[in-house]
Structures are given as C-alpha cells and as structure tokens.
Structure 1
Amino acid sequence: MARRVFFSFHYQRDIWRVNQIRNIGEIVGTSAAGFHDASLWEEAKKKGDTAIKAMIDEALKNTSVTVVCIGAATAGRKYIDYEIQQSIARGNGILGVQIHGLKNQAGVVDIVGATPARLSAAGAPIYKYVDHATLGICIEQAARAAGR
C-alpha cells in the first residue's frame, strides 16, 4: 500500500531537488501545500494568508507523514512553521531530510540549510538524503513512531 506524504519545501529554490526524491514508488506525494500547479499558488497568494493556510490544510488531508525537505532557505519560508504545526496537530509522522547535496537544474549543489526551529522543537529526526530506499525506510519509521 502506498503511503501519502506531504512534502514541505522552498518551492522556488528547491523544486528541482525535491522532484528527484518525491517520486518513490511506496509513497504518493503531495507537493508543498499541495501546489501541483504554480497558478494555484499564485492565485492563493493574491487572496492572502487565510487562502494559503486553507490550501495547506487541504493538502495535508489523508496524509500520514510530513517530510520537511531542508534546503538552504527552507527555515526562512513564511509558512514552514504552519505546515509543521498542522502536521503535528493532525498526528502525522514528521521528519526532516537535508537535500543540499542534490543538484538543481543547473547541476549545482547547495549549502547546508538550517533546520526549521519548530521541526527541532518537535524532536523530529533529521536525515541527509542518501537514496530512495533509505528515505522510504525513514518515512515508514516516522509513520510508525506516530502510530500511523
């Protein structure tokens, strides 16, 4: 059975890196705040914080694990704390995955990003991305730790 996972990340900076990892066969991914289409994101931004938070809440539905993809600018994202807080409130397993070693569309790796404070405060495990199999195991461990 595939597990539904919410991926939280800095879209503009890290979409290329995240796309390399979120297509694991054992999971069904939901992009950051469920914004599969950039036009949805742009429309929500025009409507304000309430609309964006509603989209995040909708994207979290039916997920059992939240993976915070930690890039160079993730900790500074406006909605990162909200995504983590809502994930915890709904009982999702949660983990952080450092993605700085993955190349972007220009073939460039990034600097190590800071771990979001709320993720650290939650005691979430933090892993450096190694490969799909290891990430799949980490996701399953987070789900089990949360009783999901």
Structure 2
Amino acid sequence: MATKTVFYSFHYERDVHRVQLVRQIGALEGQPLLGAQQWEAVRRQGAQAIKDWIHKEMAYKRAVVVLIGQETASRPWVLYEIEKAWNDKKPLVGVRIHGLASMGSGADRRGADPFAKVPAVSGVPVFDPTQTNWQGQIDTKATYACLSKNLENWVGQAKTRLL
C-alpha cells in the first residue's frame, strides 16, 4: 500500500519504462501515467494545456519526485515542474533512474542534476541507487533492489522551500 502520494517528474519519451518500474515498487502512489497517445494529445493542445495538466496532477500531491535519467535535465517541462513545486513549497527530491533497464535495453549514462538548472532551487537531495558488479558495470537488478528498499525513505528526506 502506498504511504505517500507524489507527482513524478521525468523525461517521458526516454524514461517512461523506467518510471513504470519505479511505480511497480508500490511504496508511493503517483499520478496516472499517460499513454503515448494520451500524452501526445495533451501536447498537441499547446503549452497551456500541458501547464494545466501539470497543475491539476500536482495539486494534491504531498511531494514531487524527479526521476533523473540521462536527458532529464534538458527537458523544459521537467524544469517547469521543479520550479512550480519549489514555488508552491512542495517537498522536492531527486532519484536517479539511469541504472534501471528499459524495455530490453540496459542501463543509460548518468544525467546532469536538473535542480542545478533552476536558478532559485537549492539543497534538494538527489539519491542514486545505481549498483555495479565486480567489473564496474551497472547491475540493473541490484539497482532495482536498492531503489525498492530505499525509495520511501528517500522521499521522506525531500527538501521544501522555506521562504
């Protein structure tokens, strides 16, 4: 049973399958994930429709979890979600997901910290469950196990803007 309701912020095209793995852990309850066609329908309506969707889905969530993949920090809507959460004084936390497997492909490269790209945001913790084997290669199963064990605790350490 999920103990917290959160808004997941992530790069849809690249990481949606990794995000589904995170959701399967069951430690947190996130917003419904839109299917590719649903997301495209929202996008086609323009920037205001995307903002409206973000505002609606984030409104009653207790925290915002930025799931950080290889390209997350370069996504304008992720940066918008970070800024909105910070301005709304919602607890923010980052969790790296590049070490999870995605639809038959292995792990990705580690991405930049998206919080560093939003000027007013500071001190947000970023946790990395990535585990490696004895050869230094990412072990996606061990990474998933580490994430499963720690996700709820990490979200409990989310940072809120004070002023």
User: Which range, TM-score by smaller chain?
Assistant: 0.7 to 0.9
Q: Which residue of 2 is the match for residue 57 of structure 1?
A: 55
What 5-or-longer segments of structure 1 have no aligned partner? Answer: none
Query: What is the 5 A alignment of 1:87-106?
Result: 87-106=85-104
Aligned residue identity for 1:126: V
- Aligned counterparts of 2:94 and 2:119: Cα–Cα separation in 1: 7
Q: State the aligned residue count.
A: 143
Q: For residues 19 and 55 of structure 1, do their structure 2 counterparts lie closer, same or farther at Cα, with a shift above 3 Å needed? A: same
8 A Cα contact 1:75 1:115, kept in partner = yes
- Aligned counterparts of 1:38 and 1:2: Cα–Cα separation in 2: 28
Q: For residues 24 and 62 of structure 1, do their structure 2 counterparts lie closer, same or farther at Cα, with a shift above 3 Å needed? A: farther
TM-score, normalisation: structure 2: 0.78
Larger Rg: 2
SS of the residue corresponding to residue 121 of structure 1 reads coil
Q: For residues 20 and 120 of structure 1, do their structure 2 counterparts lie closer, same or farther at Cα, with a shift above 3 Å needed? A: farther
Report the identity percentage: 33
8 A Cα contact 1:84 1:119, kept in partner = no
Q: Over residues 96-134 of structure 1, what are the superposed CA-to-partner deviations in whole Å (9 max), with x where a residue is unaligned?
A: 111111111123110000111228933200110332221
Q: Which residue of 2 is the match for residue 8 of structure 1?
A: 9
8 A Cα contact 2:83 2:121, kept in partner = no
TM-score, normalisation: structure 1: 0.85
Q: Which residue of 2 is the match for residue 134 of structure 1?
A: 150
Query: What is the 5 A alignment of 1:1-148?
Result: 2-30=3-31, 35-116=33-114, 117-118=117-118, 121-129=121-129, 130-142=146-158
